[in-house]
């Protein structure tokens, strides 16, 4: 019985195998292959790929012309098929020399459940340097027949074969090529992908020379990316080494430009490299990338034969592949530093172009002492440096309100002073009281008539935490700050893409600016950017302040502080952890993953805090509700640079009706 977990979410497990080989000993080689098939079955592998000429060994030389070897190879194939019927239920691909049309071809046989489903010949034969394949084999273009008599049945034969399990899983189509085919300007796998293959496999015998492994890695990654496909590559191992060539048994599994798994080379024992491919993700990418479909007419003059096959009878419950809990934040420190540098300088370049275009005006920016406004200020400083303009042209304004703490206020003032910008402070509490009086509003039930700011603030400290909910009170402060900024010049925005996704911004307040360099940066990456900038772009006392800002609790500071002056309004206590929302946003927007798959992936990710399935479902439901309900805020966003694969600009990546219904995305939550 197929387990629903991985399969229903589009995952199939694939493997590249390197058996121990005795050159020209086909019976021994078949035994080694069967042993690896058993191991693969225990791991729920659906597609298992062996190296080129794996039944005979690639380095047989002129022995390939011996009928004894040719007959032994077919007998070994029969043994693999017969024993595989009992020990491996997936698709297995093995290499052998095969006589067709009175010629010998370098072939890949595709087998399942005791039956050879099809045979694919090698298209391009290397015959240069250490390679002499044209001495023994005929290229596919010289072969005429579309079937070959093999194991007492007519078997489909040719380079036009695709192996299709679409009846069981849409998009599960396998294409086969052999070694040198990948090295050509237009590999056969490119045509196979355009014809619908999402899993491409390569049986290879690539020997080892200095630098070749890196090039091989690039080839596999790039071909999987160009073809928007999974790519499984298996190459001959050390036991093939002879005379002047050494083989390393290099195995690679890639998906859409990314190497998911790679084996160590020069292993003496058999190798079985296993990983999952996400077929739903690949299908989503192909649908979304319309230029991929534009090339499909190129294959219309080619006929393709689709050979059906079945999914394995068993599948694993859990993923082997890593699911990044923070998909926007690279794992390694070197990669993270490189990412931060690229993003920061993209922000600077975008803002510099805008300011140059409008005559390099002075700019205004609200500084709260929090992460987002800090990042925007750092970008502004480096932009002015780049343009040769004094930083005094940056007018930083901190506007403490009823929820501002002494820590964030002091950090805002210190940062502006250390960076050399023009700093100002306006206490907005009195202005907000006047506006609330004009609105006849009684915040938290408090009558405002005759109250001074200090008296009102004292009463706020008496408000119970559970009563601290007043949207008008919050919005008046947020809009007051924006009004003060807008009257001071060209306003640089500070909000990030995570806040925009959730609608965690006040319409026509922090939601609005003339240009926002943070507009496509997720919250989980902001703190890393600020920390990177502190360590790489700024020196002196500013670094100390920046480190303290990184350690500050995330809050809009719009609700009253506690009696001790500390933050009461913690954003993540209200809307949920940003690490989850950024995870949801990535998979929802980048790959169009349905909610049930997002939860499945989140259950496999390792978060800083562990979450139960119930918590994941609760926060994802909130994410979906807020994402749909707040599209109207995103429909009128200011300009800002796209820095990654996720952006919500209505002029760029995301065009969504403001009044779309979320019912279909919330139905899973009702099912429990």
Please state, in angstroms and as integers, the Cα–Cα distance from residue 211 to each residue in 71, 207, 215, 218, following that order.
38, 11, 7, 11
Which H or E element spans position 115? strand 115-121
CB 112 within 8 Å of CB 92? yes
And the tokens for 649?
């600009």
DSSP state of 180: H
Task: Identify whether the C-beta of residue 339 lies closer than 8 Å to the C-beta of residue 374.
Answer: no
One DSSP character per residue, 280-324 reads HHHHHHHHH-HHHHHTGGGGTTS--EEEE-PPPS---SS--S---
Name the catalytic one among 60, 105, 122, 208: 122
What is the arrangement of strands in the sheet containing 305-308, beginning at the earlier edge strand?
258-262, 252-255, 230-235, 199-204, 173-178, 161-164, 305-308
Distance between CA atoms of 335 and 341, rounded to whole angstroms?
10
Measured between alpha carbons, how far is 74 from 115 in angstroms, rounded to an integer? 13
Instruction: Identify the H or E element spanning 574.
Output: helix 571-575
- The CA distance from 548 to 552, in Å, is 6
Cα–Cα distance between 513 and 506 in angstroms, integer? 12
Cβ partners under 8 Å of residue 446, min gap 6 = 456, 459, 460, 463
592: which DSSP letter? Answer: -
Determine the Cα–Cα distance for residues 321 and 217; give it in Å rounded to an integer.
18
223 phi-psi bin (left φ>0, alpha ψ -120 to 50, beta other)? alpha
CA atoms within 13 A of residue 240's CA, in its CB half-sphere: 30
CA distances from residue 31 to 359, 373, 428 in whole angstroms, order as listed? 76, 65, 80
DSSP 8-state symbol, 268? S
Q: Of 52, 240, 276, 285, which residue is the catalytic one?
A: 52
Q: What is the DSSP letter of 605?
A: S
Task: State the CB neighbour count (10 A cutoff) for residue 343.
Answer: 23
Query: CA distances (Å), 17 to each of 35, 136, 237, 273, 569, in order?
Result: 11, 25, 10, 6, 55
Could you tell me which residues come within 8 angstroms of residue 334 by beta carbon, excluding any fewer than 6 positions away?
none
Catalytic residue among 179, 227, 251, 432: 179
Q: What is the DSSP string of 533-557?
A: HHHHT--THHHHHHHHHHTSPP---
Contact yes or no for 12/279 (Cβ under 8 A)? yes
The question of whether 179 is a catalytic residue gets the answer yes
For the chain, give percent helix, strand, coil, nearest 5.
45, 15, 40
User: Which 8-state DSSP code applies to residue 44?
Assistant: T
Positions marked catalytic: 52, 122, 179
């Amino acid at each position: 019985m197929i387990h629903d977990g991985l399969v229903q979410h589009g995952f199939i497990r694939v493997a590249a195998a390197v058996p121990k080989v005795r050159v020209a000993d086909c019976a021994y080689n078949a035994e080694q292959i069967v042993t690896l098939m058993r191991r693969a079955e225990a791991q729920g592998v659906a597609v298992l790929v062996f190296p080129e000429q794996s039944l005979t060994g690639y380095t047989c030389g002129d022995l390939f012309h011996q009928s004894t070897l040719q007959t032994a190879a077919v007998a070994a194939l029969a043994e693999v098929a017969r024993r595989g019927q009992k020990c491996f239920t997936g698709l297995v691909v093995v290499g052998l020399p095969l006589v067709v049309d009175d010629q010998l071809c370098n072939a890949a046989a595709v087998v399942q459940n005791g039956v050879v489903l099809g045979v694919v010949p090698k298209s391009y034969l290397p015959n240069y340097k250490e390679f002499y394949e044209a001495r023994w084999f005929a290229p596919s273009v010289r072969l005429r027949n579309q079937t070959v008599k093999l194991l007492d049945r007519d078997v489909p034969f040719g380079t036009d074969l695709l192996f299709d399990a679409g009846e069981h899983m849409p998009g599960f189509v396998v294409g086969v090529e052999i070694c040198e085919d990948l090295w050509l300007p237009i590999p056969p796998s490119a045509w196979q992908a355009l014809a619908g293959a999402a899993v491409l496999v390569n049986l290879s015998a690539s020997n080892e020379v200095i630098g070749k492994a890196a090039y091989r890695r690039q080839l596999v990654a790039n071909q999987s990316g160009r073809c928007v496909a999974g790519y499984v590559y298996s190459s001959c191992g050390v036991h093939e080494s002879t005379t002047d060539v050494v083989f390393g048994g290099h195995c690679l599994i890639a998906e859409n430009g990314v190497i998911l798994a790679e084996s160590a080379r020069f292993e003496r024992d058999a190798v079985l490299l296993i990983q999952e491919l996400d077929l739903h993700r690949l299908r989503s990418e192909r649908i979304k990338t319309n230029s991929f479909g534009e090339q499909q007419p190129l294959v219309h003059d080619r006929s393709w034969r689709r050979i059906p096959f079945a999914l394995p009878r068993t599948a694993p419950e859990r993923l082997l592949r890593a699911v990044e809990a923070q998909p926007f934040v690279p794992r390694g420190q070197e990669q993270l530093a490189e990412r931060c540098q690229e993003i920061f300088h993209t922000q600077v370049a975008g803002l510099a172009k805008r300011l140059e275009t409008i005559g390099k005006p002075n700019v205004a920016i609200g500084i709260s002492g929090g992460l987002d406004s800090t990042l925007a200020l750092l970008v502004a400083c480096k932009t002015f440096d780049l343009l040769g303009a004094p930083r005094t042209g940056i007018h930083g304004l901190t506007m403490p309100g009823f929820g501002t703490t002494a820590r964030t206020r002091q950090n805002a003032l210190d940062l502006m002073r250390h960076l050399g910008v023009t700093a100002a402070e306006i206490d907005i509490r009195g202005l907000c009281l006047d506006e609330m009086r004009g609105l006849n509003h009684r915040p938290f039930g408090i009558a405002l008539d005759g109250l001074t700011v200090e008296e009102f603030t004292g009463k706020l400290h008496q408000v119970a935490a559970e009563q601290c909910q007043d949207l008008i009170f919050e919005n008046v402060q947020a809009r007051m700050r924006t009004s003060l900024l807008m009257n001071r010049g060209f306003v640089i925005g500070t909000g990030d893409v995570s806040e925009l996704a959730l609608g965690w911004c006040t319409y026509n307040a922090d939601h609005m600016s003339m240009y926002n360099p943070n507009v496509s940066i997720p919250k989980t990456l902001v703190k890393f950017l600020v920390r990177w900038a502190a360590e790489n772009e700024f020196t002196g006392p500013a670094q100390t302040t920046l480190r303290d800002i990184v350690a500050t609790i995330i809050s809009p500071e719009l609700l009253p502080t506690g009696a001790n002056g500390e933050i009461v309004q913690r954003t993540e206590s209200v809307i949920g952890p940003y690490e989850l929302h950024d995870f949801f946003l990535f998979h929802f927007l980048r790959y169009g993953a349905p909610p049930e798959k997002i939860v499945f992936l989140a259950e496999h990710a390792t978060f800083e805090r562990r979450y139960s399935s119930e918590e994941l479902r609760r926060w994802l439901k909130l994410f979906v509700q807020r994402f749909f309900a707040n599209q109207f805020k995103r429909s009128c966003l200011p300009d800002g640079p796209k820095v990654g694969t996720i952006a919500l600009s209505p002029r760029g990546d995301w065009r969504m009706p403001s009044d779309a219904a979320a019912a279909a995305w919330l139905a899973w939550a009702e099912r429990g």
